[in-house]
Amino acid sequence: MAGQDIEKLIKLVSKLPSLGSRSARRIVLHLLKKKENLFFPLIDAMNQVAENIKTCEVCGNFDTSSPCSICSSEIRNNATLCVVQDVADLWAMERVSLFKGKYHVLGGILSALDGITPDDLNIDNLIERIASENINEVILALPATVDGQITAHYLLSRLKDFDIKVSTLAQGIPMGAELDYMDEGTLQLALNSRKAL
Amino acid sequence: MAGQDIEKLIKLVSKLPSLGSRSARRIVLHLLKKKENLFFPLIDAMNQVAENIKTCEVCGNFDTSSPCSICSSEIRNNATLCVVQDVADLWAMERVSLFKGKYHVLGGILSALDGITPDDLNIDNLIERIASENINEVILALPATVDGQITAHYLLSRLKDFDIKVSTLAQGIPMGAELDYMDEGTLQLALNSRKAL
């Protein structure tokens, strides 16, 4: 078998999401073969990120500065706040580059099964931000699951005393989808929320 | 979007085999969330490997020493040499832990399509080893493809002047396989090489 150091590295790589021991082995071999072009640059980039990345104390995003570049941006709209479950969702929204407001990362959603209560989430911070900042619309960009909806309802109840607009992402048939591949729930929902042309 | 450093890291991670930009993003986020338990240990392990790993000058394996631990092992059989295409195949053979001889990594196989000729492979070294070391059997553990067979034939022609046994891995139905999922080539081959019970 490979040396001890290599085995240790393979084991660590196999802990990464979507990788198993076989793909970890392939990745490590690939790195060993491309030492100059990939292995060393990757180590440098990882060091760079590990040393510099902070969690933004305002919104919860990852960035090299805190407040992050989105929170401290002067061209973004301070009045609209998009609430997301996770940094991954924030990045997904940013990839669309349509939303020009600011974000708030909850760090999860309520879940009876996983025992996640409002205290486990970044909700008090959100209420504080809405109370102190000049926010007039909150967009709840939460997952379209039961837990996501429960979280949205809970947030709505916490936000009802504020004079702000609260909205949620539209649900329906995704772009490019074939109707006969859609589940019944989505079809029902799309039918109920049909739009007049 | 995420900061520049993170984007750079995502781009490098997405170059690894079997990963795309989406899984690279997920992996980097996972690392950022598990800084202490995974990110830092991974960087350490990578540094450790990058600094210490050498290519064994005898067989071509990767290890912290050259000659590698297999080549310098005193309990392994010096008389049997297993010829493999790649270090990945060497590791695969070692995982079975049945073979107790030594290895020789070709670094590829002959390929008319990819323009790989005998000069591109570690073949002269192999001949030298057989001429100078006390080897009496060479096992050609090459891929069961056309290119693999061509390489095996070529090696056989180069080895015919030596008084050694040359063998190749058995071909047939893999363990646990259903016959109706097997391709015709494999079935034909398994039938032709049938064994008396």
Instruction: For residues A1-20, give the mean pLDDT.
Output: 87
- Enter the CATH code of domain A76-196: 3.40.1360.10
Residues of B in contact with A91 (CB under 8 A): 1-2, 25, 29
Residues of A in contact with B4 (CB under 8 A): 64
Q: Where in chain B is the domain with CATH 3.40.1360.10?
A: 76-196
Residues 58-87 of A with CB under 8 A from B: 61-64, 68-69, 87
State residue B125's pLDDT score. 93
Distance (Å) of CA B66 to CA A2, A6, B90, B104, B122: 13, 15, 16, 14, 17
State the maximum Cα–Cα separation within chain B, in Å, rounded to a whole number: 67
> What is the residue type of A70?
I
Look up residue B142 and give its two tokens: 């090459």
pLDDT in tens, B28-81: 999 999 989 999 999 999 999 999 888 999 999 998 888 898 999 999 999 999
Residues of A in contact with B6 (CB under 8 A): 49, 53, 62-63
* Model ipTM over 0.95: no
Contact A53 B29 (CB under 8 A): no
State residue B2's pLDDT score. 61
Return the residue in B6, B23, B69 with the most chain A beta carbons within 10 A, the one to mutate for interface testing: B6
Which residue of chain B is at minimal alpha-carbon distance from A25? B88
Instruction: Give percent of chain A with pLDDT exceeding 70.
Output: 99
Distance (Å) of CA A44 to CA A38, A58, B35: 10, 28, 16
pLDDT in tens, A25-80: 999 999 999 989 999 999 999 999 999 888 999 999 998 888 898 999 999 999 99
Q: Where in chain A is the domain with CATH 1.10.8?
A: 4-52
Is the predicted pLDDT of residue B3 greater than 70, yes or no?
yes
Confidence of residue B122 (pLDDT cuts 50, 70, 90): very high
- A102-105/A80-84 β-pairing: parallel
Confidence of residue A2 (pLDDT cuts 50, 70, 90): low
Is the predicted pLDDT of residue B95 greater than 90, yes or no?
no
Model confidence, pTM: 0.77
CATH topology of domain B4-52: Helicase, Ruva Protein; domain 3 (1.10.8)
Interface residue B193 vs chain A (CB under 8 A) = no
Contact B2 A64 (CB under 8 A): no
State residue A178's pLDDT score. 86
Residues of A in contact with B45 (CB under 8 A): 5, 8-9, 12
Contact A9 B48 (CB under 8 A): yes
Rounded (10°) angle between helices B87-96 and A21-33: 140
3-class secondary-structure state, position A184:
helix
Is the predicted pLDDT of residue A3 greater than 80, yes or no?
no
Contact A5 B64 (CB under 8 A): yes
Look up residue A135 and give its two tokens: 């926010």
Confidence of residue B130 (pLDDT cuts 50, 70, 90): very high
